[in-house]
Amino acid sequence: MFPVVARSSWWLLAFSALALEVAALWFQHGMGLDPCVKCVYERVAVLGIFAAGIIGSVYPRALLFRVLGYLLWLISAGWGLRLALQHVGIQQDPATAFGCSFSAEFPAWAPLDSWLPQVFLPTGYCDDVQWQWLSLTMAQWMLVVFGIYLLLLAVVVYSDWRQTRRG
């Protein structure tokens, strides 16, 4: 069973997402890899998971904060998985790259690429494989990462349900 009411569990979720964001910035600014629009959107999804961890850590004993954290975790990891699947598809069949814009389309009320272009401005192409590790591309690794986040969410929600049911 996972200690879903422990603040440290939620901080671990937030820390894991923050570590991914730091890694993304290292790949971009340290190694000189250009992020594509899918990469940028995947960063936003990871930031959503970070926010879910922060929300859940506010008052983890309160069901409301846990449920809000779970919902944001689900939405962010699900959206991230969808983006990563699209990204992998584009890399495996470059003919589908027309579905990948060169500019981010953030809502007018949150133009992240204008506010923080060092992080959210796409400068690369979605079909360009710039990095691999253990024969997997960055997009494929993000597919694994978001899949793990969703699997962990299922385990944590089940654990919470079991603990709540016991009273």
Please confirm, yes or no, whether 82 is among the known catalytic residues: no
Name every residue whose Cβ is closer than 8 Å to that of residue 108 and which is 6 or more positions away in sequence: none
Catalytic residue among 7, 82, 100, 162: 100
Distance CA 72, CA 68 (A): 6
Distance CA 143, CA 117 (A): 25
Catalytic residue among 7, 66, 82, 126: 126
Please confirm, yes or no, whether 36 is among the known catalytic residues: yes
Catalytic residue among 36, 82, 165, 166: 36
Round to the nearest angstrom and report the end-to-end CA distance of the chain: 15
CB-based burial of residue 34 (10 Å sphere; 0-12 exposed, 13-18 middle, 19+ buried)? middle
Angle value at C-alpha 150, between 147 and 151, nearest 5 degrees? 85
Could you identify the residue written with the tokens 């922060």? Answer: 54
Catalytic residue among 43, 66, 82, 166: 43
Q: Running DSSP on this structure, what letter comes out for residue 101?
A: -
Catalytic residue among 39, 61, 82, 166: 39
Query: Catalytic residue positions?
Result: 36, 39, 43, 100, 126
